[in-house]
Structure 1
Amino acid sequence: MGLIVSFFSAVFEKLGLFPQKVKKSKYEVDDGVTLFDTGLSPPARRVRITLLEKQIPFKKVDINLLAGEQYNKEYCFVNPNKKVPAVAFKNFKGIPDGFYFESNVICELLDTVSTGAKLYPTDKKEKAQIRMWQDYELGIVDDFVPLAYYNLISFVCRTMHADSNEMKESMDKNTPEAAKERFAGVYNAVGKTEKDLYEHAIASYQNLLTLERGLSGKQYLVGDRFTAADISVFPRIHMFSLVGMPIPQEHFPNVYAWIQRIYSRPSVSSSEDFPTKITRFVITSLTSIFVLIGNVKSGQKHHKRIDGTKVIDKAVNEAPVVTEFKLPQEALDNPKVVVDDYPVSSDCLQIKLLLQELNVKYDTRNCHILNMIGRAAGSGGIFTIYHNNQPIKGMRGITEYICSLGAKIDLLPSDPSVKGKIQSWQAWEQTMYIQELYPLIEVDIYSRILVHRYEQKLDDLLNLRSQPEYQTKFTCILKCFMAGLSKDSDCLEKLKEEYGHLIEEPEALKKRREGFYELLHGRLQHLDNTLMHQDYLVGKDVTMADICVFSRLMFFSYVGMKISTQKYSNLSTWILKMQSQQNVAYLLDDINKQITSLSQ
C-alpha cells in the first residue's frame, strides 16, 4: 500500500522539503535495527508501531514498490518474499545478525527481546486469540486487495505515468514480466468490473462485522489491554477509507470507537510520517481532484472510484446470520485432535503432516470444497481443528498449536531467532500459495471438480446465489466452473448472456499461466540456493518450515509445474528426504485419489 506515497514523496523531494541523505547504498546496514519500509503498507506499519511502542530506535529505508524496487537483486537478498517489511538486525540484543521478514514474525521477535509490557501475553488462551485475529486480518485480504488495486492504486499510477507502457519501462530491470503485466492491468483497470468491486466492498463490510462483534463490550481485541492483536488488525482497518470504504459510526460503533482509541496512542499516531499523512488527506478529502488528475494525465477520462457507502446497508442486512458456536459432534469429548478436512487442500495436507510427524492421533471431519474457492487468503480463516473441546482457527494458530503438542520432537523451537526464521518461511510459503500457486490450483483442479459436479445440474449451481454463505463469492465459484467447461458445452451458451464477462480468453489464460510459472520458478531457485549448503531450511533437523513448504510443492505437478532434478538438484534431494518421512506417501496418494474421484 505504500505505492501511493511514492508519488507524493517524489514531489516533496523535488521541492527540497525532505532531502535524502547521500549514501553508497541504501541497503547498507548499521548497528541496531534497520526497517525496509513503505509508507501506507499495513504490514510495515505494524512493525513501525511495535518499534515505537517498545521505544526501539531504528533506521528506515523506503522501498519504492511502484518502481518494482522489491524485485531489485539487492532487496531480494534482504527479503526473498519480495515484499515489505523486512528488518535487518546488527549487534542488537543478542539476535543473530541477519534479515527477517513477515510483519507478525518481526513484531513477536521484537517483543520477545524487549523489556516493558508484553504485546504477546504468556497465557496460552490469549496467545491463541492473538493468532486468530492475525488470521482474521489475513482473511480479509482477498476482498481488500482488489479494492486497493482498482479503487486506489490504479488512480495513483495514472497520476504518475501517461500510459501503462511508460509505467512498465520505469520499473526495475529485474521486475518479472508477469509483475509488469499485472501493474499494467491495474493501470488500465482491466480485470475487475464495477460490479465486481462492489461485491468485494460488500464482502469487506461483512468481514468488518466480525470485528464489530469481537469488540462488543471490550476496549481491545484480546484481554483488557493493547496487544499484538490490535497491532495486527488496526493498520488494515485504518486503510478502509483510502480504498473507498469509510467506516460510519452508525453501522460499526464498536469498530469506530476502537479506531479512535488505538489511534490516540502515541506509537500509533506517530507511525505515519508527514508525507504519508498528506497522502491520506488528499485521497480521502480531495478525492474528485485526485481522480481528475489521473484521468486527465492518462487520457482515460472514464475512470471513477466506487463509493463503498452505497452498499453498507446491503452488506449489513444480507450478512449471514451468526449463530452461537457449537462444538461439532465429532469433536465433543474426543481426546484426539479433530481436523476440518477440505478435499484437495494443501493446508489440510500441512496439518496432517505436522500431526503425523509428531505422532499425534487425530480424526477428520469432512467439509465442502466450495468453501475453498475464491478465497485464496481468506480460506485460511475457515480452517479449524478441535482439541480438548476447544476450536483452534487459522493456519498460523493451528500450526503453532500442533507444534506445542510434540513431546519429543521440536518442530518450532522456542529460541526467538530460530522461531523467527521458521515463521518467516511459513510466511514465504503462504505468499507463494496465495499469489502464485492457488490461482493455478483453482483453474486446473477445482474447476474440473465443479464441472464434474454441476455440468449436468446447472440449476443446483445457480441456486448458490440465494444461499447466504455463498452470495459474496458466487461470482468466483461460477468463474471457476466456467474455466473448466469445454468450448462446446451447453452450459457456456446458457451462461454467456449474463455471465459472459467471466470467460477468460485462451490466450489471456495462457499468458497468465506463463507468468505464474515464471514466478514459481523463481521460488524454486531460491529454495535450491538455500539448500545448497544445508540439509533443511532452518537448522540441522526437520522443522515446521520444511513441512509447510513441502506441502505446497507437492501440488506443483497438479498444475503442470515440473521440478527438474537437473535444474534444482539441491531441492530435489531435499524433497526425496521429505518424502521418506513417516506416512507421507500415504497422504500424497490420498490427494491423488481425491482428485480422481471428484473430477471423473
Structure 2
Amino acid sequence: MGLIFSIASSVINKFFVERPCPFEPQEGITLYDNALSPCARRVRMALLEKKLLYRKVEVNLLKGEQLTSRFKRICPNKKVPAIAFRNVPGLEQDCTLYESNVITEFLDSDIFPGPKLYPVNAWERAQVKMWQDWELGLVDDFVPFVYANMIPFILQLIHSSKESFLASLPKEIPPAKRDFWSRVYDASTSTPDELKQHAIMCYKNLTVLEKALNDRPYLVGNDYTAADLSVLPRVEMYNTVGLYIPKATFPNIVEYLHRLEGRKSTRDSQRLLFRLMRNVMGYTYFTGWVVKLGNWRSGRHLTRFDGSVYLEQTMAKVSSDRSNHPGWRAEVDSMEWDCVLVADCPCCPRCWQVKLLLLEKGVDFKTYQLPVYDVVGRWAGSGGLIRIYHKGHEVVGIRAVLDYVDACFVPTTRFFSETPLEKARVQCWQAWDQTMGYQELAPLLEMKLISLYLVKMFSKDLAQFYALGKDPMYESKFPSILQCFVYGLLTGQGNADVLEKVEKEHREVVVRAREVMQRQGQCRELLRERLKHLESHLHDKVSAACIQGKNVSVADVTIYVRLSFMWAVGGVVEDAKCPTIASWFEHLEETRPHFLAVSDQISEVFNIK
C-alpha cells in the first residue's frame, strides 16, 4: 500500500500541486488553465481548432491560487480559465479576458484565423448560446458531485489532515471561502438527499441532450460549433464524478462523445493522464483507487455517492415531465407573428434584465407570469426560466436572450459593441454579474425575499404546498423549494405553528436551513468584495458614466438590475462606502428613464404585505 500511495502521490503532485504559478502574462497568448476544469478545456479545444499557439499557466485550484489577489487582477471572478493577449498580430491593444464562452467567442472573431465556431445567422447563433446556457445550468447539479465524489479524496491524498490542508491555503482567502473549503475536505457540502436530487436533475438534463441528438451529428446545424465544444467537456466528466452514462439509456450521447473524441482538438485538449484514465484503466477503476488511498492517508472512511442508482427512477418519470408551463404554450400559440412574449417573475433579477433591455430598445412586449417557486434553486443557468418567444423562435437562457434581443431589434442602437474586443469586455462584465448573482446574491434573495412570498402563498394551506412535490414539473426541485419555504418560516412573523408542523415531517430540512441562514454574513462579505472591485474599476475610468466604453451597454443593464436587488436585500453596503457606484447609479437614473422605472418597480417587489 505504501508503494502504491507513493506512486499515486507523485502523480497527483505532478498534475495538481507542483509548480508555483507565474501569473504575469508573456508575449503572445497566455492561457490560465487547470487540467481538472471542463471550462478551461473548452478554451483549449477552441485554440486547437483555430491552430493558435499559446503558453499555458497552470493555476492550482486545490491550493486556492485562483482566490488570491494576484489572480484576482487577472480574473475578478476568481476562476479559470482566463486568457491574456500581449502584442498579438491583428489585435490593436493588449487585453485580458475571462469566462470560457466569452473567450471562445472572441477567438472566433475576424482577428484570428481558422474555422468558424459561431454561426453568423442570428437564430443559429442563439441556438449555440442556448446550449451554452444548458451546459451552465448543469453546474448547479453537477458541481456538488465534484465536491462530494472527487475533490475530497484528492485533498486527503495530498493532506493527511484538514488542519494541514487549511494551513496550505493562502492566508488572504476570505473566511467564507475558507469555511467552504473546510466542508469540501469533509465531503460535507451536500447532504445525501441533496445529492439524490442533483443526480436526478443531472440525468433529466441528459435526456434533453439525448433527444436533441436524434439523427444529427452535431448540436447546431450540420457542422461542429461552439455548442459542441461547450457541452462535451462537462458531459464527458459524468463518469468521473459518479454519474454513469450507459449506452443502453443514452445511445445518442455515447455515440456523440465517441464521435467528438475522434477530433484532434478533443484528444489534444486533454492531458495524457486523463486519456489513460479513460482508455486504459477506466474512470471507475482509477477513482476507486484514489478513494482508497485518500481514506488510508487521512484515516477516514468516506465513500463516493453513486448517483447512477437513481437513473432508472429518473427515466421512469421523465416521460411525464413538462418542460414548459401549459399556459406559456397556449400564450405562444395565440400570439401574432411579430409579437414578443417574455417569461417573467418579479423576484428574478434576470427577468428584469431582459425587460430593461427591451425597454431601452423601444420594443413592445407581453409578459407571461411564472410562479415565484420557479425561481428557487439552480441559479447558474436559466433552467428554462429565462426565455422569450419571437417570430416562431423560442430563445432560452439569459445570455442567448440578451444577445438575440440586441441583434434583432433596433440594430442601429447596440448594447453589445460590434467591435470584437469591446464586446468581449462587456461580456466579461456580464459574466461577472452572473457569477455574483448565483454564487453570492441568490442565497440572500431566497432567504430575504422569495421565502416570504412562499410563506404568504402556502402557510395557510400546507396541503397545497406539499402538492408541488408531486407535480412532475417541480418534483425534482421540491427539496430546494421546501428549504426556501422553511427560511421564511424561520424568520417568525407568526408562523410558529406552521414551522412546528413542517419540522415534525422534515426535521433534517429545518436543521439544514438554520445552518445555511447562519452563513448569511459570509454571502454579504463576498458581495462587499465584489462591490469594491466595481468601485475601483469605475473610479479608475476617465468617465464613470458607463461601466465599459463610452456608451450604455449590456454591462450597465445587467449590473444595474442586480445591484437594485442587492440594495433591496440590505446589509451589504452603504452608499458612502461606494461613492463612484452611487454616482453611476444616479447618472443612469437621471439620464435613462427606464432604469429609474425598473428600479422603482423592483423596490415594490420587496413590499410584501
Query: Which category describes the TM-score, using the shorter chain as reference length?
Result: over 0.9
Q: 2:257 aligns with which of 252, 256, 259?
A: 259
2:595 & 2:8 partners in 1: Cα distance? 51
Summarize the Cα distance change of 1:279–1:182 in structure 2 as closer, same or farther, 3 Å threshold.
farther
Query: In structure 2, what is the equivalent of residue 513 of structure 1?
Result: 520
Higher mean Cα deviation, 586-595 or 422-431?
Answer: 586-595
Query: In structure 1, what is the equivalent of residue 112 of structure 2?
Result: 114
Q: 1:45 aligns with which of 17, 41, 46?
A: 41
Aligned: 1:104 with 2:115: no
1:367 & 1:330 partners in 2: Cα distance? 17
TM-score (norm. length: structure 1): 0.93
Contact 1:8 1:275 in 2 (8 A): no
Summarize the Cα distance change of 1:380–1:443 in structure 2 as closer, same or farther, 3 Å threshold.
same
1:555 & 1:37 partners in 2: Cα distance? 33
Higher mean Cα deviation, 93-102 or 38-47?
Answer: 93-102
Query: Match of 1:553, SS?
Result: helix
Aligned pairs, number: 588
Higher mean Cα deviation, 46-55 or 363-372?
Answer: 363-372
Q: CA deviation at 1:334?
A: 5.0
Query: In structure 1, what is the equivalent of residue 369 of structure 2?
Result: 366
2:512 & 2:13 partners in 1: Cα distance? 44
1:335 & 1:507 partners in 2: Cα distance? 48
Aligned: 1:525 with 2:532: yes
Structure 1 gaps of 5+ residues are 1-6
Query: Match of 2:469, SS?
Result: helix
Contact 1:343 1:368 in 2 (8 A): no
1:19-30 matched pairs, under 5 angstroms: 26-30=22-26
Query: In structure 1, what is the equivalent of residue 468 of structure 2?
Result: 464
Q: CA deviation at 1:409?
A: 2.0
Summarize the Cα distance change of 1:331–1:375 in structure 2 as closer, same or farther, 3 Å threshold.
farther
Structure 2 gaps of 5+ residues are 1-5
Query: In structure 2, what is the equivalent of residue 349 of structure 1?
Result: 352
Query: In structure 2, what is the equivalent of residue 480 of structure 1?
Result: 484
Query: In structure 1, what is the equivalent of residue 196 of structure 2?
Result: 198
**Deviation digits for residues 557-579 of structure 1, max 9, x if unmatched?**
23223432332111111111122
Same amino acid, percent of matched pairs? 36
Summarize the Cα distance change of 1:507–1:479 in structure 2 as closer, same or farther, 3 Å threshold.
closer
Query: In structure 2, what is the equivalent of residue 3 of structure 1?
Result: none
Query: In structure 1, what is the equivalent of residue 594 of structure 2?
Result: 583
Aligned: 1:447 with 2:451: yes
**Deviation digits for residues 288-315 of structure 1, max 9, x if unmatched?**
33212222322321x2112222111111
Contact 1:68 1:171 in 2 (8 A): yes
Query: In structure 1, what is the equivalent of residue 339 of structure 2?
Result: 336
1:327 & 1:134 partners in 2: Cα distance? 27
1:110-259 matched pairs, under 5 angstroms: 110-112=107-109, 113-259=111-257
Q: CA deviation at 1:533?
A: 3.0
1:565 & 1:544 partners in 2: Cα distance? 23
Query: Match of 1:241, SS?
Result: coil
What amino acid is aligned across from residue 159 of structure 1 in structure 2? L
Summarize the Cα distance change of 1:565–1:491 in structure 2 as closer, same or farther, 3 Å threshold.
closer
2:212 & 2:512 partners in 1: Cα distance? 43
Q: 2:65 aligns with which of 51, 66, 69?
A: 69
Query: Match of 1:556, SS?
Result: helix
Q: CA deviation at 1:173?
A: 1.9
Summarize the Cα distance change of 1:107–1:31 in structure 2 as closer, same or farther, 3 Å threshold.
same
2:203 & 2:13 partners in 1: Cα distance? 39
Summarize the Cα distance change of 1:269–1:595 in structure 2 as closer, same or farther, 3 Å threshold.
same
1:506 & 1:241 partners in 2: Cα distance? 31
Q: CA deviation at 1:279?
A: 6.2
1:304-315 matched pairs, under 5 angstroms: 304-315=303-314
Higher mean Cα deviation, 254-263 or 118-127?
Answer: 118-127
Query: In structure 2, what is the equivalent of residue 318 of structure 1?
Result: 317
Q: CA deviation at 1:65?
A: 1.1
Aligned: 1:422 with 2:426: yes
Summarize the Cα distance change of 1:45–1:505 in structure 2 as closer, same or farther, 3 Å threshold.
closer
Summarize the Cα distance change of 1:438–1:14 in structure 2 as closer, same or farther, 3 Å threshold.
closer
What amino acid is aligned across from residue 395 of structure 2 in structure 1? I
Query: Match of 2:187, SS?
Result: coil
Q: CA deviation at 1:507?
A: 7.3
Query: Match of 1:555, SS?
Result: helix
2:565 & 2:292 partners in 1: Cα distance? 45
Contact 2:147 2:189 in 1 (8 A): no
**Deviation digits for residues 514-540 of structure 1, max 9, x if unmatched?**
111111111100001100132222111
1:161 & 1:41 partners in 2: Cα distance? 21
Query: Match of 1:385, SS?
Result: strand
Aligned-residue CA RMSD (Å): 2.4
2:438 & 2:368 partners in 1: Cα distance? 24
What amino acid is aligned across from residue 98 of structure 1 in structure 2? C
What amino acid is aligned across from residue 306 of structure 1 in structure 2? F
TM-score (norm. length: structure 2): 0.91
Query: In structure 2, what is the equivalent of residue 83 of structure 1?
Result: 79
